[in-house]
């Protein structure tokens, strides 16, 4: 269902050896806009409180061409659940998230990915916080494996060392690992490592796929991806946010909207990024460019919508189920094909 290059029974690495693989991310932002997640805490309680909402979004991404259905456990970890006073539902939330992802993945030929992320407790100079982060990874990865995931994504890390701890935990499961870093304004990890050096370290530590996700849009992620692609031999991942970041405003934390005077906090992050959203053609261009330089694990992070994923799939010469409804302006009432639309209405188009 999800495209010609993916077949049932094929694992992540087999699929990657045959060509690009798409993994839609961005569940937090999309479900926040739909009214199921609160911006700020960003805890995926929707998994237990409105499971139909996450199931439907998984399905929309699957129809749009996502080869991997990522269980919605991003920020479904102990620290976040503590923050909202719901540590008691932690295990339930994690297990249910995988079951929902599996249900939808099995409607197509998609893989299910378990997911861990930045813990928000890790600190470089504190062994205690490193132990706490490891314990958080161990419990989430353990539940994901028990629920039968096909691979595990560890994402949005600012410290290489935190990513390495996650990788160590994932490696023990024997499942394929995807490890992606979040690079902020300075093009380096919080330790000061260049992204390509960080990714090389992760590859040397045994990661199957390394790369970047979140924070940067296509324009400010691509230059870093080129260096990463040259530095490692393993598969490279790229999941930018779909926003028009620039050299002056390299991440979505910095986008400044001079045309809007009613922003409650002054800035656009995270709830007023709308005017900077990449259109589907920009995402298609990104997918082609990334694939051309050999970046084959592709997706879109916070801000992603199904039409972005469909564009990405079509840019990779696929025709996922949602392509049945891809634009066909030949049938438009005013702009349509002369053989289909009356001449009178085509002439009226100048009055639109």
* Residues in contact with Zn ion by the rule CB under 5 A: 214, 301-302
Q: What are the CA-CA distances from residue 164 to residues 144, 158, 187, 221 (Å)?
A: 19, 11, 19, 21
Q: How many angstroms separate the CA atoms of 184 and 196, rounded?
A: 14
**How far apart are CB 329 and Zn ion at their closest, in Å?**
32
Which residue, 216 or 318, has its beta carbon nearer to Zn ion? 216
Which residue, 179 or 231, has its beta carbon nearer to Zn ion? 179
The SS3 assignment for 160 reads helix
Tell me the β-bridge partners of 237.
Answer: 211, 297
The pair of structure tokens assigned to 131 is 């132990």
**How far apart are CB 192 and Zn ion at their closest, in Å?**
23
Which residue, 74 or 122, has its beta carbon nearer to Zn ion? 74
**How far apart are CB 1 and Zn ion at their closest, in Å?**
25
Sequence-separated (6 or more) residues with CB below 8 Å from residue 69: 58, 61, 62, 101, 102, 104, 105, 110, 111, 112, 113
The SS3 assignment for 117 reads strand
**How far apart are CB 185 and Zn ion at their closest, in Å?**
16
Which residue, 98 or 212, has its beta carbon nearer to Zn ion? 212
**How far apart are CB 25 and Zn ion at their closest, in Å?**
6
CB 100 within 8 A of CB 72: yes
Determine how many CB atoms are found less than 10 A away from the CB of residue 289: 16
Which residue, 228 or 302, has its beta carbon nearer to Zn ion? 302
């Amino acid at each position: 269902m999800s495209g010609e290059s993916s077949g049932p029974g094929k694992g992540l690495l087999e699929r990657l050896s045959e060509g690009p693989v798409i993994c839609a991310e961005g569940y937090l932002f999309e479900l926040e806009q739909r009214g199921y997640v609160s911006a700020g805490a960003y805890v995926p309680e929707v998994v237990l409180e409105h499971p139909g909402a996450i199931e439907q979004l998984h399905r929309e991404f699957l129809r749009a061409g996502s080869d991997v259905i990522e269980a919605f456990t991003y920020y479904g970890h102990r620290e976040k659940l503590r923050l909202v006073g719901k540590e008691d539902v932690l295990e339930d939330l994690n297990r249910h998230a995988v079951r929902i992802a599996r249900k939808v993945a099995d409607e197509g030929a998609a893989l299910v990915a378990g997911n861990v992320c930045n813990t928000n407790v890790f600190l470089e100079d504190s062994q205690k916080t490193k132990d706490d982060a490891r314990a958080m990874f161990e419990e989430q990865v353990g539940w994901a494996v028990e629920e039968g995931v096909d691979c595990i994504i560890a994402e949005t890390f600012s410290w290489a060392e935190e990513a390495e701890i996650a990788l160590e935990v994932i490696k023990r499961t024997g499942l394929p690992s995807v490890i992606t870093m979040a690079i902020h304004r300075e093009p380096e990890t919080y330790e000061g490592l260049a992204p390509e050096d960080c990714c090389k370290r992760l590859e040397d530590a045994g990661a199957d796929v390394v790369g970047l996700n979140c924070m940067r849009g296509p324009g400010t992620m691509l230059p870093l991806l080129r260096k990463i692609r040259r530095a490692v031999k393993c598969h490279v991942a790229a999941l930018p946010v779909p926003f028009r970041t620039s050299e002056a405003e390299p991440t979505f934390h910095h986008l400044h909207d001079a045309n809007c005077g009613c922003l409650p906090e002054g800035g656009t992050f995270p709830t007023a990024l709308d005017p900077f959203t990449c259109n589907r053609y920009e995402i298609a261009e990104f997918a082609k460019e990334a694939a051309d330089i050999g970046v084959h694990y592709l997706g879109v992070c916070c801000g992603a919508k199904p039409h972005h994923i469909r564009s990405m799939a079509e840019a990779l010469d696929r025709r996922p189920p949602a392509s049945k409804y891809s634009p066909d302006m030949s049938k438009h009432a005013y702009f349509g094909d002369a053989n289909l639309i009356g001449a009178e209405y085509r002439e009226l188009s100048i009055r639109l």
